[in-house]
Structure 1
Amino acid sequence: MHPTRPFLSIALPSSPPAQLATRSSVTPLNRRLFGLPTPPAPLTSLHNDLPSFLDYARRTSLPEKTTTYQGTIYEYTVQSHLRASAFSLHRVGGKSDLGIDLTGTWHVGANPVIDPPVRVIVQCKATKAKLGPHVVRELEGVTARHFAVSLARGSGGGVGMLVGPRETSKGVREALGRSAMPLVWMMVERDGRVRQVLWNGRVEKLGLGGLGVEVLYSKSGEGEAEAEVSTEARLTWEGKEVQTMDEVEEGMKRLEEEWMTKWKEDGLEDVSAEEVLDAVEKFVPETRPISISDEERKEVARSLLLTRSGRVQ
């Protein structure tokens, strides 16, 4: 198992980090272009992020001590704050959810904007007590069942992740290390701060060998004696901090604009992006549209021009 590797320590200013978006800005067009999975249908129309849930809870006088209130707040907190660690997550639930609370993609790698992301499922355990190894065994089974189809196709499946507000126990660490499935543990406090990240060797076999963690220290208080030291764990890739999902999504938008510009240069100024994508997906169905070669693009462009001019043989 690989806990917090490499392990670095630096001083942090006491000012808060820049505000990140709480939800994904990826459009259906982005998803087709980059071959991203379709997000699950919303659980409810009453709320879709932490601010809207808090507003809903106030309007309905939802008791704060209920399991529903505490669990939902923690799930939304994890969903929004893990965007800083390159996770794009969506809430799921229901009788057939296998105990999965969040599902989505993890955009890490040498080029996280264009590299295929790793699919991930998340179980949030907002408990006060430390979790035992049984939760790892449960997650192992859920991960195997959830990714059974992709595993059967030999495409590598995805990562199962446990998130909780308490530090991991020795039993959990040992269970992670023994697991035959790619599993991750993250300690995320109720305010969203990530304190601990652990993963097993199976995760690295998914192409994530460059992952590491640096531990950042910050002080609060007027003097050295009164100052309280707090820590935060941040993911790195080959020693550099990973891009946030805000940065990844902004990069996707830029690449989409560049991609469409190339089609216009090929003489398709008045063709919609949807029409281009339809043609690309038909011509090279096993390739993500963003990754097609220049030769393939020109061949598709010629076909579209012939079709639009009515000269298809």
Structure 2
Amino acid sequence: MILSCIKRVSCGRIRPVLTRFLRASTAKHHDLESYLQFLQTQANVATESTYYKGLLYEYTVQHALKKLIGISPLTRCGGTGDNGIDLMGSWNIQKAKKKLDSLTILVQCKASKTKTGARLFREMEGVHSYHVSKSRQEGRTLLIVAAPSAITKQGFAQFQTTDVPILYCQINRVQPIYDTKQDTFRIDNFEHYSVVQGLLANHAAQALLEKCDLSTAKINVLMKGNSVEHKKASPPVVQKITLT
């Protein structure tokens, strides 16, 4: 069934409307917890398949971004005809003295271990042009690229010179651990303080975040605040991404 992944957001619609096939029924799973529960009911899961790895990574990213900076709901909407978007949602920012109180978030997830190069960021320029340019969401939309890998030097140069606001999130791939005593998959090893290795905003994203009275440094503070219940955990410093 064809579903629309976005209805109205704050000041209007993203153009064109994102309509596509969902890769899995929302009745079966819609987030990391429900997906892990779904896996328990499956007799055989091809854990080495590209589909499985990609889907698990999307839910890992969704879970991490929700816990890290409160982007929720973050709807999974990738698949045939997704035009470069795997997750989308709205980031409501509860802060005073800001020019913007919410951002539309479009996320592309790359589960590959291959280092992130310039080509991906050029593709993100096309994603922004297709979904955002000349719409009422232009100037209030942040693109997020999530990948477990480092950025190449050429990729970093492209990332910094583009006018498209992009936040690069280096998020680990995680394999589910089955708890035989509880007879369920553990979700604690997916928590943001252990899977998020770094955040990097390009110049355009920094300017957009400043309108919300935010920066990657302040996001790091938010991250630590969200980790209070995990006092033994040591949240990483998220302002830097390894370049290779």
Name the TM-score class by shorter chain. Answer: 0.5 to 0.7
Q: CA deviation at 1:114?
A: 11
Distance 2:98 2:39 in 1: 36
Question: Is this contact kept in 2: 1:109–1:210, CA < 8 A?
Answer: no
- 1:130 aligns with one of 112, 115, 128: 115
Distance 2:109 2:154 in 1: 18
Equivalent residue letter for 2:77: V
User: Equivalent residue for 1:48?
Assistant: 30
Answer with 1 or 2: which has the greater Rg.
1
Distance 1:183 1:163 in 2: 10
1:57 correspondence with 2:59 = no
Superimposed CA distance per residue, residues 162-221 of structure 1 (whole angstroms, 9 cap, x where no aligned partner): 10112222222111111021111110112442111111121233324631324999xxxx
Partner secondary structure for residue 216 of structure 2: strand
1:86 correspondence with 2:70 = yes
User: Equivalent residue for 1:102?
Assistant: 87
Superimposed CA distance per residue, residues 216-242 of structure 1 (whole angstroms, 9 cap, x where no aligned partner): 99xxxxxxxxxxx9762458xxxxxxx
Q: CA deviation at 1:106?
A: 2.4
1:161 correspondence with 2:144 = yes
Number of residue pairs matched by the alignment: 192
User: Equivalent residue for 2:182?
Assistant: none
TM-score w.r.t. length of structure 2: 0.66
Q: CA deviation at 1:86?
A: 2.6
User: Equivalent residue for 2:215?
Assistant: 211
TM-score w.r.t. length of structure 1: 0.52
Question: Is this contact kept in 2: 1:167–1:196, CA < 8 A?
Answer: no
User: Equivalent residue for 1:199?
Assistant: 201
Say what the alpha-carbon RMSD is for the aligned residues: 3.5
Q: CA deviation at 1:51?
A: 2.3
Alpha-carbon spacing, 1:104–1:183, altered in 2? closer, same or farther (3 Å): same
Partner secondary structure for residue 186 of structure 1: strand
Equivalent residue letter for 1:51: E
Pairing of 1:1-313 with structure 2 (within 5 A): 43=22, 44=25, 45-60=27-42, 61-83=44-66, 84-88=68-72, 89-108=74-93, 110-111=95-96, 116-150=101-135, 153=136, 155-190=138-173, 191=190, 192=192, 193-206=195-208, 207-208=211-212, 210-213=214-217, 214=220, 232-233=236-237
Alpha-carbon spacing, 1:114–1:133, altered in 2? closer, same or farther (3 Å): closer
**Which has the larger helix fraction?**
1
Question: Is this contact kept in 2: 1:164–1:186, CA < 8 A?
Answer: yes
Identity of aligned residues (%): 29
Alpha-carbon spacing, 1:99–1:54, altered in 2? closer, same or farther (3 Å): same
Alpha-carbon spacing, 1:187–1:174, altered in 2? closer, same or farther (3 Å): same
Gaps of 5+ in 2: 1-6, 174-189, 225-232, 240-244
Equivalent residue letter for 1:53: Y
Superimposed CA distance per residue, residues 3-60 of structure 1 (whole angstroms, 9 cap, x where no aligned partner): xxxxxxxxxxxxxxxxxxxxxxxxx9xx99x779899899312211112212323323
Gaps of 5+ in 1: 1-27, 218-228, 236-313
Superimposed CA distance per residue, residues 90-129 of structure 1 (whole angstroms, 9 cap, x where no aligned partner): 1002322112110112234734999531111111011112
Question: Is this contact kept in 2: 1:189–1:195, CA < 8 A?
Answer: yes
Deviates more, 1:199-208 or 1:84-93: 199-208
Distance 2:39 2:204 in 1: 40
